[in-house]
Structure formats: structure tokens, C-alpha cells
């Protein structure tokens, strides 16, 4: 490599931080006989939706035995064959880092230990619950350094225009105007839209299943809580343009009309 | 002689740059640019209208000066002609000038710096600079809006036009010189063109209220759907310089409102027809 005189050359690239949303594959069981056929079925069903989508593999719900039994190379290959792009693994125990890296996957810190609604029955059969929850924060060094604090709420007072994206990586997001069609609002926590929600709203994007979406006038293109999503076509007619609260219940989205809204003259 | 120079120095205010943009194509940007510029000139302001649609230039046709184009914006930017050689003076109205776009080159030949210099020079000599933006959100449109102080967002009362206008408004708030340099933001004005109150009443067309609700920017006025627009276009006359045109009157209302005067909003309701016109079915 020839030495580069950086003092006179104009920079040919920039390294910048960026915030992205990514699909997360939360694995509950790593038994090859059930995992791979189910993956092929689910992803195969909606190939165009998943096509070339970057996907993050989350192992927080998988116990030590399950993680040890998982062949990361095979999993990565299977996912690639199905058309998705596995970018990394989070929530994996430190002892598996070597194997994960060898499979060409990145290592990401686990999410703060939160109790998820869909706790699987299969993996927790023999171990009692309290010790397991205590173990989770220790398995990932990134989590222990995080003291639970209230994350600041992001407040936006202007309309979110088509093509714009507003992201609150921690905490809640409040929009004091409308979210127009073609716009996206995402938050780790709750989303409140004090106006018309005509675009996309995705709450609980880091996996917080207790997140909710509130809007004064709901006619969203797509709403999602912790990955579970519903498109406009599937919204009940009685909800359109009403004040609606959306939450995650029993693995699906629950819609409740919480009032009516008249925009006024 | 000295008195004149003193006066000139006092009056040296920079021209206001107004971009006429929409996102969607075919909604009436060039018609509006021509009509608005001509309207301002008629009201006594020295105005220049610049065509930014490189390769698909139309402004010269609409202004009726297509047979007098020697140099264009790109020639000026690349130093192949001076600004004075490129500017075309309108034959009908004093104070009105046109700077056409190039037809033979493509939009990649536009440079932000070059355009900046041209606008800076024009700002010294004019009261208003109208930038006729091309459709889309590519280089041509971004360059046209970059130096704007105010914007006329032209929208048809129709869903795809409204969405594209929304996109453009988002860009006016983030990809302009004012946004990048933390100056007071570009002032946006909503212009709804091809408005037909009968179809609005029937429910076929979005109402001005609906459009305003979605776009949430200051409302400048509606221009009714009018046969005079096509006729004026083909004749190469800005619609505000034609006689007896409802669209022309609507544009003049908007010019006056823009200049700070109060004008009632016309052309928004179905005209009431008297008994005779209904009996004899006259237009």
C-alpha cells in the first residue's frame, strides 16, 4: 500500500453515524427441524417484502443450550438463499462471538433487558423465571453499563412531509402536527400524533412490545408495534379518521377508538 | 448626475427570489411563472423570469420570445455570453425580462455556483426574480429552489399532485440555502391551479380547503380551469396580459395579495346564473 499524503489530498469519503431501521428475527428455538422449515415458509410467503432486506438476528430469547446448538454459518446461508441479508446477531452469549464472526455476521449489543409480551413457553421449561431474567443483563456487557433512566421525548412541531422520516432512537416521539402520506415516524417508545396520521408509524422498534401509537385522526398507510404491522387496507372502516390508540396484544395489533376529532374550520 | 447616483444607492435593495415549483409535472408552473412575472411587471416592478428546465425549455414559448433567443442561462454560467446578451426584454411590458434555458444541453451542465453568481448579479438590478422550476426533485428542481426567498407551490386539486407538493415543501424546508445557513425559512405560498368548483361540489375534485389542510402552508389563491390558458400559451402571451381571462384575473388577484393587498378570494364557488342565462343556456 503506498503511503497517502492526507494533508494535500481532498477526502474521498466520510464516516458518519446513521440511524437505520432494520427487521429483527427474534429466534425462540434453534431446533433445526422446526426453525428452518418455518423460516422458509414465512419468508418464502412474502419474498418480495423480504427481498434483500437487511435482517438482524436476535437471540435474547434463546437459552445457552439453544445458542450452543445453533449453526450460525448454516443459518446465515439459509437466510441468504431466502433472499434476505443477515447483517448481525445480538443477544448472543460472549462464548459464541467467534462462531458468529466466522459466519460473516456482525456482533451487536443486546437490547436493555425488557420483559417481552410473547415470552415463549418452550425454552423456559426447566429454569425458574427470576434467575433467567437476572442472567440476561449479565450476558451482554453493553447492557450492564446502562442504568435505567427516562429517555428524553422527541417533540416535533411542524408537519412531517412526504418523504421525510423522523426517528426517536430512545424514548417517545410526539408530533404536534400531522404525518403526511409518504412520511415515516419511528420511535423506540410510544408515538403520539396530535394531528392526522396519514403516513407510516412504527413504535417500539427496538422490541418494546408495550409501546403504543396514538393519533387524533388515524388513516395511516402502515402502523407497527415491535415489528407487528398492519397496512391501511386491513384497518377497520370504523377506525378511519377517528382518534385511535394502537397497542400490541396477544401477538397482534389492537385498535381502540379513544375519541373523535373535528379539525375545525 | 450626482443626485441620480445618490438615489440609486438609496434604492439598492436586493431582489427577492421566488421559485415556482410543484414536484408534479404539468400542473401549471410555467404558466404561473409567466403570468406572475408579467403581473408583477404590470404593477411596476422590474422582474426577470428564469427558466431552469434545461433540455425541455418552455418558458420562452409561453412568453412569446422563442424567436429571439441567442444566449441562454447555461451560456452565461459557462462564460460563453454575458448576462446582458442573454436577457430578453419583453416587447409588451416594460420591466419584464426573460432568461431562457438551454435546449441542447442537459441538466448536469447546471452548477449551483454558476447559478448563484447569476442570481447575485440579477439581484442588484431587479426587484423580483422568478425561477421557473422543472418538475421532479432532481438537480434542475433543486438548483431552481436553492436560492429562493419565497416559493409558489403550484398544486392541482388532485391527490398525486398534493402528495408531490408535500414532498417539495419538505425539501424547501431542508435543501435550500436558507435552510442550510440557518436563515429565516423560505416562505411558502399555495397556488391551486385548474380549480373547478362544480366538480368540487360533486365530490370529484379535492376542495381548496382539503388541499390546505394537507399541505398547511399560506394560501395565495386558486386559478380556475380556463380555456384561455391554452389559447394564451399557443399565442405566446402570458395569461395576465390577455384580455378578459378569468385565469388572468385570478393571477392578478394573487400578485396583489402577494404584494400585501387584500383581495377577496374569487373563483372558488360555482357562479350563480341568472334566470335568463339559464333559460337561454348561455355560458
Tens digits of residue pLDDT in A82-92: 888 888 988 88
Q: Give SS3 for B257.
A: helix
What's the pLDDT at B168? 97
For chain B, how big is the Rg over CA atoms in Å?
19
The whole-angstrom distance between A163's CA and the closest CA on chain B is 6
Q: Check residue B4 and give its pLDDT.
A: 58
pLDDT, position A141 = 39
The crossing angle, in degrees rounded to 10, of helices B139-146 and B159-172 is 50
Between CA B154 and CA B162 the distance in angstroms is: 9
Q: Does A263 touch chain B (CB under 8 A)?
A: yes
**Contact yes or no for B166 and A177 at CB 8 A:** no
Tell me how many degrees the CA angle B54-B138-B125 measures, rounded to the nearest 5.
55
CA distance A197 to B198: 29
Give the SS3 label for residue B112.
helix
Q: At residue A216, what are phi and psi to the nearest 5 degrees?
A: -75, -35
Name beta bridge partners: A24. A56
pTM over 0.80? The answer is no
Does A4 score more than 60 pLDDT?
A: no
Q: Name the β-bridge partners of A248.
A: A253
* Average pLDDT rounded to a whole number, residues A23-32: 86
Q: Which residue of B has its CA nearest to A196?
A: B214
User: Considering Cα of B155, then B156, then B162, then B163, what sign does the dihedral take?
Assistant: negative
Q: How many CB atoms lie within 10 A of CB B159?
A: 13
Rounded to whole angstroms, the Cα distance separating B61 from B92 reads 15
Residues B20 and B32: their CA atoms lie apart, in Å, by 8
CB-CB under 8 Å, A161 with B170: yes
Q: Residue A220 — pLDDT band, cuts 50, 70, 90?
A: very high
Q: Which among A159, A161, A177 is the nearest to B167, CB-wise? A: A161
- Give pLDDT, residue A2: 54
Q: Do B170 and A163 touch (CB under 8 A)?
A: yes
**pLDDT beyond 80 at A142:** no
* Average confidence (pLDDT) per 10 residues, chain B, 283 residues: 56 88 96 97 97 93 94 94 95 96 85 95 96 95 97 96 96 95 96 96 95 96 95 95 94 97 93 75 55
- Does A116 contact B at CB distance below 8 Å? no
Q: What is the pLDDT of residue A67?
A: 84
Sheet with A191-197: list strands edge to edge. A154-156, A173-175, A191-197, A213-218, A243-249, A252-259
Q: Which residues of B touch A177 (CB under 8 A)?
A: 216
- Residue A217's pLDDT band, with cuts at 50, 70 and 90, is very high
| Contacting A residues, span 191-220, partner chain B, CB-CB under 8 Å | 198
Percent of chain A with pLDDT over 70: 82
Amino acid at each position: 500500500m503506498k503511503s497517502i499524503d492526507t494533508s494535500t489530498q481532498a477526502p474521498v469519503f466520510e464516516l458518519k453515524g446513521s440511524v437505520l431501521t432494520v427487521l429483527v428475527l427474534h429466534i425462540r428455538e434453534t431446533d433445526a427441524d422446526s426453525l428452518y422449515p418455518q423460516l422458509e415458509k414465512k419468508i418464502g410467503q412474502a419474498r418480495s417484502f423480504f427481498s434483500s432486506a437487511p435482517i438482524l438476528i436476535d437471540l435474547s430469547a434463546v437459552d445457552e443450550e439453544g445458542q450452543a446448538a445453533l449453526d450460525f454459518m448454516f443459518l446465515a446461508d439459509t437466510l441468504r438463499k431466502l433472499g434476505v441479508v443477515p447483517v448481525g446477531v445480538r443477544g448472543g452469549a460472549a462464548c459464541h462471538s467467534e462462531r458468529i464472526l466466522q459466519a460473516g455476521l456482525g456482533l451487536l449489543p443486546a437490547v436493555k433487558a425488557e420483559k417481552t409480551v410473547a415470552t415463549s413457553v418452550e425454552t423456559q421449561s426447566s429454569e425458574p423465571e427470576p434467575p433467567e431474567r437476572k442472567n440476561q443483563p449479565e450476558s451482554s456487557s453493553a447492557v450492564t453499563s446502562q442504568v435505567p433512566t427516562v429517555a428524553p421525548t422527541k417533540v416535533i412541531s411542524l408537519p412531517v412531509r412526504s418523504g421525510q422520516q423522523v426517528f426517536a432512537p430512545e424514548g417517545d416521539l410526539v408530533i404536534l402536527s400531522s404525518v403526511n402520506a409518504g412520511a415515516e415516524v419511528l420511535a423506540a417508545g410510544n408515538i403520539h400524533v396530535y394531528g392526522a396520521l396519514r403516513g407510516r408509524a412504527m413504535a417500539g422498534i427496538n422490541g418494546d412490545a408495550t409501546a403504543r401509537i396514538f393519533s387524533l385522526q388515524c388513516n395511516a398507510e402502515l402502523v407497527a408495534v415491535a415489528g407487528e404491522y398492519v397496512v391501511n387496507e386491513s384497518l377497520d372502516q370504523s377506525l378511519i379518521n377517528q382518534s385511535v390508540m394502537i397497542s400490541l396484544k396477544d401477538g397482534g395489533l389492537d385498535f381502540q377508538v379513544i375519541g373523535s376529532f373535528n379539525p375545525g374550520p | 448626475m450626482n443626485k441620480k447616483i445618490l438615489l440609486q444607492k438609496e434604492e439598492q435593495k436586493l431582489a427577492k427570489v421566488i421559485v415556482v415549483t410543484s414536484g408534479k409535472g404539468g400542473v401549471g408552473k410555467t404558466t404561473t411563472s409567466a403570468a406572475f412575472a408579467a403581473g408583477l411587471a404590470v404593477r411596476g416592478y422590474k422582474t426577470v423570469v428564469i427558466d431552469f428546465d434545461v433540455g425541455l425549455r418552455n418558458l420562452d414559448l409561453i412568453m412569446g420570445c422563442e424567436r429571439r433567443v441567442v444566449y441562454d442561462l447555461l451560456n452565461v454560467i459557462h462564460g460563453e455570453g454575458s448576462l446582458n446578451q442573454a436577457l430578453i426584454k419583453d416587447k409588451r411590458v416594460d420591466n419584464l425580462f426573460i432568461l431562457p434555458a438551454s435546449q441542447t444541453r442537459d441538466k448536469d451542465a447546471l452548477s449551483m455556483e454558476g447559478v448563484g453568481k447569476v442570481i447575485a448579479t440579477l439581484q442588484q438590478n431587479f426587484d423580483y426574480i422568478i425561477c421557473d422550476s422543472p418538475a421532479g426533485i432532481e438537480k434542475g428542481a433543486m438548483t431552481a429552489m436553492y436560492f429562493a426567498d419565497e416559493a409558489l407551490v403550484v398544486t392541482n386539486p388532485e391527490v398525486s399532485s398534493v402528495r408531490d407538493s408535500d414532498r417539495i415543501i419538505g425539501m424547501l424546508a431542508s435543501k435550500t440555502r436558507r435552510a442550510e445557513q440557518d436563515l429565516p425559512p423560505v416562505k411558502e405560498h399555495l397556488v391551486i391551479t385548474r380549480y373547478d368548483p362544480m366538480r368540487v361540489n360533486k365530490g370529484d375534485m379535492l376542495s381548496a380547503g382539503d388541499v390546505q389542510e394537507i399541505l398547511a402552508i399560506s394560501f395565495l389563491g386558486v386559478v380556475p380551469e380556463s380555456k384561455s390558458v391554452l389559447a394564451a400559451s399557443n399565442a405566446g402571451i402570458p395569461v395576465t396580459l390577455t384580455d378578459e381571462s378569468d385565469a388572468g384575473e385570478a393571477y392578478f388577484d394573487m400578485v396583489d395579495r402577494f404584494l400585501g393587498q387584500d383581495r377577496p378570494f374569487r373563483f372558488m364557488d360555482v357562479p350563480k346564473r341568472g334566470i335568463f342565462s339559464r333559460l337561454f343556456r348561455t355560458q
